[in-house]
Amino acid sequence: MTLLPFPQVHAEHAATPLPRAPQTPEDTGLPHTFLVELVGKAMYQLGFARLMELSQHLCLAGTVVEAVCHFMRREGLLEVLRRGQHDGDVQFELTQAGHARAADWLVRNQYVGPAPVSLEAYRAGVLTQSLAAQPVDARRVHEAFADLVVSDELKDRLGTAINSGRPLLLYGPSGSGKTYLASHLRRLMDGRVAVPHAIYVHGEVVRVFDEHCHQPASDAPDSHHGLDNRERADARWVLCQRPCVVAGGELTLEMLDLSFDARAGYYEAPPHFKANNGLFIVDDLGRQVITPRALMNRWIVPMERRHDYLMLRNGG
């Protein structure tokens, strides 16, 4: 897969509000046990850590991390090593029991990155940011392809296809510019989208944000100053340009499913998943190891029902 360069985004389409930062463990949409394990594993790797450092590392508000740490102190898993002059200057250390528990948690799952979002929150975000809510008109389509030698009839067909929200098939002889034309469809995708670092589903973590597929917006809000995050955006989401992912002859059926890393204990989202709210291009259809029939059979349900089914190792 390759990442295509992104066009300049018009100012009127640039604002995409990120969710508000959760202020309590319940607001995160994650099980309390998962948050305890995540904080414990982070402490195991960081060693001594201040409350503010944990907050920034896990992309969670200080109030959320503080509540989890207080619970772990009551359970004998964590202790205060040093207190400073303000609430954020509290240094924690795992107890012997907490160290042993964290080691066990890491054996099962080594994910210690930014806290994930729930599957429900991700689904709601995808629907809210759908390109279907931003239809294009004839003027915008003609402006987007003004520097290309393309007939007005084809421009109108491309605009109609984009507005339909359905898969688009470009066909023609070799060298006729199909790939070049498909890559320029990104010019019709204005605005930013919020992409989560990871999602939590049925006890598993699926990593979504990929620096090779997602380009953070240059004007993204900063969510890592201080502990007061009541008015700040949820740092578990990254404000990005709409993704444009291209898969060529290397595409296989296995790549279209969740990829589980047995050693790390968590999943990587497939490329078409990472292209949500953007553009996913299958280049040179028929050049893949799998046949076009097999590829279409894999996508017939997602294309008809507009949702895909991905299987976890636990059957979820």
In our burial notation (b when 16+ CB lie closer than 10 A, e otherwise), range 34-64 reads bbbbbbbbbbbeeeebbbbbbbbbbbbbbbb
- 232 with 126, same domain: the answer is yes
- 209 with 181, same domain: the answer is no
- 179 with 199, same domain: the answer is no
Is residue 21, in this structure, part of any structural domain at all? no
- 74 with 222, same domain: the answer is no
Q: How far apart are CA 2 and CA 234, in angstroms?
A: 28
CB contact at 8 A, 93 and 78: yes
User: pLDDT at position 271, please?
Assistant: 95
Burial class (CB in 10 A: 0-12, 13-18, 19+), 263: exposed
Is residue 217, in this structure, part of any structural domain at all? yes
Is residue 316, in this structure, part of any structural domain at all? no
Is residue 9, in this structure, part of any structural domain at all? no
Is residue 5, in this structure, part of any structural domain at all? no
Is residue 80, in this structure, part of any structural domain at all? yes
- 52 with 183, same domain: the answer is no
CATH code at 41?
A: 1.10.10.10
- 142 with 230, same domain: the answer is no
- 205 with 195, same domain: the answer is yes
Contacts of 34 (CB under 8 A, 6+ apart): 200, 203
Is residue 6, in this structure, part of any structural domain at all? no
Give the count of domains, the chain: 3
User: pLDDT at position 7, please?
Assistant: 40
**pTM, to two decimals:** 0.86
Quote the tokens at residue 51.
Answer: 């409350």
Beta strands 279-282; 244-247: pairing state: parallel
- 249 with 215, same domain: the answer is yes
- 253 with 125, same domain: the answer is yes
Which range marks the domain in which residue 60 is found? 31-108
Quote the tokens at residue 256.
Answer: 């279209």
- 126 with 248, same domain: the answer is yes
Is residue 87, in this structure, part of any structural domain at all? yes
How far, CA to CA in Å, does 294 sit from each of 31, 42, 227, 276, 307?
A: 39, 42, 51, 22, 18
- 72 with 125, same domain: the answer is no
pLDDT digits (tens), the chain, 316 positions: 444 443 443 434 444 578 999 999 999 999 999 999 999 999 999 888 889 899 999 999 999 999 999 999 999 999 988 876 666 678 899 999 999 999 999 999 999 999 999 999 999 999 998 887 778 888 888 888 888 888 889 888 888 888 887 888 898 888 888 888 888 888 888 788 999 999 999 999 999 999 999 999 876 666 554 545 567 899 999 999 999 999 988 999 999 999 999 999 999 999 999 999 999 999 988 888 889 999 989 988 888 888 888 999 877 7
Domain end position, chosen among 188, 207, 225: 188
- 157 with 96, same domain: the answer is no
